[in-house]
Chain A
Amino acid sequence: VESVALKDGLLALLESPAPVTLEINAVQRIDTAGMQLLTAFVRERESQGRQVRWRGSAPALSAAAALLGLAAVLRLPDQAP
């Protein structure tokens, strides 16, 4: 259910010509389905030459990205481990 809402939110931003900044400070937990949506979003934006920026830090998100091997695709901001 949450992932459906996330998808709709991301879809709305997908075509935005301006750089999109995602505020991730509030991310407490995320599952693989959520990570998959983010990955699809970032990948598609990049293929269109549009940027995605991240603001804030979310250890849960970073850890999940690393564990799923998606850190490189998502270009998450560097964080002190």
Chain B
Amino acid sequence: MTIDLAQFHDTFFEESFELLDSMEAALLKLDIGAPDSELINTIFRVAHSIKGGSATFGFSEIASFTHSLETLLDELRTGRMQVTLAMSDILLKSVDVMRAMLRAVQAKQPIDQQRVSDLQFDLELMIVQKNAAEAVTAAEAAAPAVLPASAAPCASLPSATVAQAQAAPLADAPAAHWKISFRPYRELFARGNDPLRMMRELADLGQLIVNADVDALPSLAKLEPQECHLAWTLELHGSVAEEAIRQVFEWTEGDCELQIIRVESPAAWSDEATADAILSTLAAEATSPQAPAAAAPAELPAVEPSAQVSPAAVAKYEAPPKAEATVATLGDSGSIRVSVEKIDELMNTVGELVITQAMLSQLGTMIEGSTAEKLRAGLGQLERNMRELQESVMRVRMLPISFVFSRFPRMVRDLAQRLGKHIELKLTGEQTELDKTVLEKIGDPLVHLVRNSIDHGIESPEVRAAAGKPAFGTVHLDACHRGGNIAVEVSDDGAGLDKDRILAKARARGLVGPTDLLTDEQVHDLIFLPGFSTAEKTTDVSGRGVGMDVVRRNVKELGGKIELRTERGKGSRFIITLPLTLAIVDGQSVAVGSETYIVPLISIVESMQLRSSNVSRLSGRGEVFSFRGDYLPIIRLHELYGVEPRTRNLHEGLVVVAEGDGRRVGLFVDDLLGQQQVVIKSLEANYGHVEGVSGATILGDGSVALILDVPGIIRAASLRAAA
């Protein structure tokens, strides 16, 4: 039977990319000199899983590269090599290369062989020159460090450790032993596994010390004989290869938690302390003549063959770690993978349901009679359940913003290194959830803001020292819920914006008249103009003046806004406010004639009744009204959409002051109806783009209401005014 492996490729790629992300995150958390063994294990598992997968699917280049990487990581894991700055650099580069290779394979493009083989060479060189690498470590420690805590631990590395690491040969040293934690799941026996048999095999490999954990054992009455409630911690002494141990546990894959750790023990194996626990002799005894002749053979036949009929060595080596990984993921999140289309379909159906429910509710109010009351109670219940269902489905689409934040530690590290700045990145509110679509689109603007903060905001260490600031500049990314919105903040404790310089630049470019006085807010607005930059020289990081305008446009496209607060010498804060989702909008419904329109609440400043004394007519500019010392143009919605209004007298209707594209206008409507959340239906998908309309929704009575695109209306109005 042949299985088409290609069908699994997508899953493999998807998983591998996720694994690489976690590997990168773990690498960045890794302390130089004093690494956390759990982190190293995580990193190792990633390399191992990708190696296994790519070998299975025949991506030999990736398998070969990850093999070298794995070898190096194994040296780290067993403590034979130390984590140095150079090491963490090369490991991060490996992540990049693996990502590039996977992308290339995924896109069926050729792999950049040169880059791969260069790095692979470096990796292997590192292993070969392990002893030399120790010397490099010392040198590294002396060199100026860019990251916190990188230098000290290296320098203070006890010489004994170094000596020991140097002394340890590449092969398993006799002085080392293995610690095995074996925690079977209950089903272990039922799957035909008998720990006794496995212990015997281990005892054949070397000196075995067994510690049983009987704490989980229930009382006899409650004990299901075929469930395993025991767990073991084992120590195996002697020159044993890890593969040999894994082979013993081969058939328990998925039925247990298994950890195999190599322990360096410089002290010689002490006989007396553990004499009574040494079991290799005991194991032999089981088959000794003293035992009934029939006992051993009778017990073993079912077992022995499996040990001999063993699959290829590679497969054996792969299996147990995979089990470990599966267990870890199950334990961590217990999640399933669902395609976005399925969720969108679900969303859509729920949207339709909401509309149907609204229609029913409206009908319910018209019905009279003895059962009407019951019907209305039922409808009320339906409405509550609908709302819950809608929220649940929305939550499915929500992802924590850590998906975006996670790319920053690496970026900040690299940038800081390149610019010679000392930067500490603070991330808070990573668990704040927002819609996947919003999440995907907010990444680039955030990257831009963070780059700006590092390049322009944070000063060089010398300048900071002169200003009496700590050498490490802080860039802080924060996310939190604020009302129905998400606020994402990028702040730094750098130089802040230089108002005078911005103004001077704007005057020089004729953006601002030489005598115009601007408020702080207006000055801040200048940096969002296309092509505006005060950077004296363009770096490859930023300064070309492309950016802030794009950032603002992206944020606006998401229905959000961006604010800037800055204080010279103290730092700046960019605050992005975003809607939770793009599928639902908080709207104010307004009446114009017989039509209902929805104005997104985020665009509304306030609503007011006009007095005729406030209104003036400018020749060629249409009508304006005074609003807090400003004159705002009036846009009559009935003219814009060609409907017959209830009134044409400005003082008989209402004006909704709306803001968009940095400008304000008054929208003249007949009446305000109420605020509600509406499900956005795309017009583009069903009809076509209409200027000034961002979408449509279906109201409770089944009629369609258009959702106003306020920035679009303002743009169109100013074009008309200019013409």
Residue positions of A touching B, CB distance < 8 A: 3-4, 6-7, 10-11, 14, 28-33, 35-37, 39-41, 43-44, 59-60, 62-64, 66-70, 73, 81
Smallest distance from the beta carbon of A26 to chain B beta carbons, Å? Answer: 10
Q: Are B291 and A68 in contact (CB under 8 A)?
A: no
Contacts A32-B194, A70-B212; is A63 near B226 (CB within 8 Å)?
Answer: no
Q: Which residues of B contact A33 (CB under 8 A)?
A: 189, 194, 225-226, 228
In the bound complex, what is the Cα–Cα distance between A29 and B292 (angstroms)? Answer: 10
Contact with A along B277-288 (1 / 0, CB 8 A): 001011101101
Residue B265 at the chain A interface, CB threshold 8 Å: no
In the bound complex, what is the Cα–Cα distance between A26 and B299 (angstroms)? Answer: 15
Q: Are A32 and B214 in contact (CB under 8 A)?
A: no
Residue B298 at the chain A interface, CB threshold 8 Å: yes
Smallest distance from the beta carbon of B475 to chain A beta carbons, Å? Answer: 53
Q: Are B212 and A59 in contact (CB under 8 A)?
A: no
Residue B290 at the chain A interface, CB threshold 8 Å: yes
Q: Which residues of B contact A14 (CB under 8 A)?
A: 220-221
Residue B210 at the chain A interface, CB threshold 8 Å: yes
Residue B3 at the chain A interface, CB threshold 8 Å: no
Interface residues on B, range: 35 or more
Residue B104 at the chain A interface, CB threshold 8 Å: no
- What residue in chain B is nearest A81 (Cβ atoms)? B285
Q: Are B196 and A31 in contact (CB under 8 A)?
A: yes
Residue B594 at the chain A interface, CB threshold 8 Å: no
Q: Which residues of A contact B451 (CB under 8 A)?
A: none
In the bound complex, what is the Cα–Cα distance between A6 and B203 (angstroms)? Answer: 28
Q: Are B286 and A59 in contact (CB under 8 A)?
A: yes
Contacting residue for A7 out of B217, B225, B295, CB 8 A: B225
Q: Which residues of A contact B226 (CB under 8 A)?
A: 3, 33
Q: Which residues of B contact A30 (CB under 8 A)?
A: 196
Contacting residue for B295 out of A44, A60, A73, CB 8 A: A60
Query: Which of A35, A43, A62, A66 counts the most chain B CB atoms within 10 A?
Result: A66
Q: Which residues of B contact A44 (CB under 8 A)?
A: 219-220
Within residues 283 to 314 of chain B, which ones have a CB less than 8 A from any CB in chain A? 283, 285-286, 288, 290-292, 294-296, 298-299
Q: Are A43 and B214 in contact (CB under 8 A)?
A: yes
Contacts A37-B223, A69-B211; is A60 near B299 (CB within 8 Å)?
Answer: yes
In the bound complex, what is the Cα–Cα distance between A36 and B189 (angstroms)? Answer: 11
Q: Which residues of A contact B403 (CB under 8 A)?
A: none
What is the interface of chain B mostly: helix, strand, loop, or mixed? Answer: mixed
Q: Are A68 and B229 in contact (CB under 8 A)?
A: no
Q: Which residues of B contact A68 (CB under 8 A)?
A: 195-196, 199, 210, 212, 230, 232
In the bound complex, what is the Cα–Cα distance between A63 and B281 (angstroms)? Answer: 10
Q: Are B214 and A70 in contact (CB under 8 A)?
A: yes
Q: Are B282 and A63 in contact (CB under 8 A)?
A: yes
- What residue in chain A is nearest B281 (Cβ atoms)? A81
In the bound complex, what is the Cα–Cα distance between A70 and B195 (angstroms)? Answer: 12
Q: Are A59 and B220 in contact (CB under 8 A)?
A: no
Q: Which residues of A contact B195 (CB under 8 A)?
A: 32, 68
Q: Which residues of A contact B223 (CB under 8 A)?
A: 7, 36-37, 40
In the bound complex, what is the Cα–Cα distance between A81 and B286 (angstroms)? Answer: 9
Q: Are B196 and A40 in contact (CB under 8 A)?
A: no
Query: Which of B229, B279, B282, B296 counts the most chain A CB atoms within 10 A?
Result: B282
- What residue in chain A is nearest B211 (Cβ atoms)? A69
Query: Which of A31, A67, A68 counts the most chain B CB atoms within 10 A?
Result: A67
- What residue in chain B is nearest A37 (Cβ atoms)? B225
Query: Which of A11, A31, A62, A63 counts the most chain B CB atoms within 10 A?
Result: A63
Q: Are A39 and B217 in contact (CB under 8 A)?
A: yes
In the bound complex, what is the Cα–Cα distance between A40 and B220 (angstroms)? Answer: 5
Contacts A59-B290, A67-B200; is A41 near B220 (CB within 8 Å)?
Answer: yes
Residue B620 at the chain A interface, CB threshold 8 Å: no
Q: Are A67 and B199 in contact (CB under 8 A)?
A: yes
Smallest distance from the beta carbon of B358 to chain A beta carbons, Å? Answer: 60
- What residue in chain A is nearest B223 (Cβ atoms)? A40
Q: Which residues of A contact B282 (CB under 8 A)?
A: 62-63, 66-67, 81
Q: Are A36 and B199 in contact (CB under 8 A)?
A: no
Contacting residue for A60 out of B203, B221, B291, CB 8 A: B291
In the bound complex, what is the Cα–Cα distance between A74 and B194 (angstroms)? Answer: 19
- What residue in chain B is nearest A80 (Cβ atoms)? B290
Q: Are B286 and A32 in contact (CB under 8 A)?
A: no
Contact with A along B643-679 (1 / 0, CB 8 A): 0000000000000000000000000000000000000
